[in-house]
């Protein structure tokens, strides 16, 4: 059984060190614990160790956990592939969606977000390495889409998210993260009359240092908190 509390301490130290190395304030970086495939009991352990935000990929599994734990001040982030027939439940149950990859998904989330809830925070997923196997907007599409999506009611377009292909070392890992940060800057320079993007969701267990060096504001960490997934 991995020791979740020790693991969280170790990841927080890595976050802080990487922030210091980059001349950044560690408090500007959210550690999102990716709890897909983990039990409610494991989520509770992570919460006891100071984690408030959890990332989930599979809606049914997530809904069960949210029902069990939701009333305890946790923030739930949807970070999995999102089909249009699942948007309603996501709009009703989550604080964030990191994986908006089509205009239609954004429109549905906007229409289905209960007006009694705060705006749903969203990130556009960018297929930064142009991989066949990954979803996401191309950087060119994102530039033209952002202005449209930023106008949708009940949503707040917060930033960009990417899952780059694995690379061998930190120098190579930094490259796609730098591209994502540059794209965000470019989008911000084109956005008038709406709030600028302030979120870069990038970096996982294996590349969080590289992501923080390039400006990540949310790192998504599963394995290094909860242990290997079976």
Ligand X SMILES: *Cc1c(COP(=O)(O)O)cnc(C)c1O
**DSSP E strand stretches across the chain:** 30-34, 53-56, 75-78, 96-100, 120-125, 155-161, 199-201, 218-221
The correct pick among 92, 143, 223, 227 for binding ligand X (CB under 6 A) is 223
CA distance 226 to 34: 9
- Interface residue with ligand X among 34, 142, 197, 202 (CB under 6 A) is 34
The nearest distance, CB 228 to ligand X, in angstroms, is 8
Number of residues near ligand X (by CB under 6 A):
13
Could you write out the three-class secondary structure of 63-87?
A: HHHHHHHHHHCCEEEECCCCCHHHH
Q: Which of residues 116-135 bind ligand X (CB under 6 A)?
A: none
Q: How far is the CB of 4 from ligand X (least distance, A)?
A: 13
Strand partners, 97: 78, 122
204 binds ligand X (CB under 6 A): yes
**Residue 59 binding ligand X, by CB under 6 A:** no
Question: Phi and psi at residue 156, in whole multiples of 5°?
Answer: -130, 115
Q: Please tell me whether residue 141 binds ligand X under the rule CB under 6 A.
A: no
Give contact residues for ligand X (rule: CB under 6 A). 34, 36, 57, 79, 163, 204-206, 220-224
């Amino acid at each position: 059984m991995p020791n979740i509390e020790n693991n969280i301490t170790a990841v927080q130290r890595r976050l802080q060190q990487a922030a210091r190395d980059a001349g950044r304030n560690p408090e500007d970086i959210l550690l999102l614990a990716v709890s897909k495939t983990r039990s409610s009991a494991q989520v509770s352990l992570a919460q006891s160790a100071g984690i408030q935000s959890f990332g989930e990929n599979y809606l049914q599994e997530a809904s069960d956990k949210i029902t069990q734990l939701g009333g305890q001040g946790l923030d739930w982030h949807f970070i999995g592939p999102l089909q249009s027939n699942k948007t309603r439940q996501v709009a009703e149950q989550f604080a964030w969606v990191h994986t908006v990859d089509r205009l239609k998904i954004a429109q549905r989330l906007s229409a289905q977000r209960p007006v009694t809830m705060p705006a749903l925070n969203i990130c556009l997923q960018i297929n930064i390495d142009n991989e066949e196997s990954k979803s996401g907007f191309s950087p060119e599409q994102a530039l033209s889409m952002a202005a449209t999506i930023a106008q949708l009611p009940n949503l707040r377009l917060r930033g960009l998210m990417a899952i780059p292909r694995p690379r061998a070392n930190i120098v190579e890992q930094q490259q796609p993260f730098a591209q994502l940060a540059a794209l965000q800057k470019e989008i911000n320079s084109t956005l008038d009359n709406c709030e600028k993007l302030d979120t870069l969701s990038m970096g996982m267990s294996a590349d969080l240092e590289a992501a923080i060096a390039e400006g990540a504001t949310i790192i998504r960490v599963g394995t290094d908190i909860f242990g290997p997934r079976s």
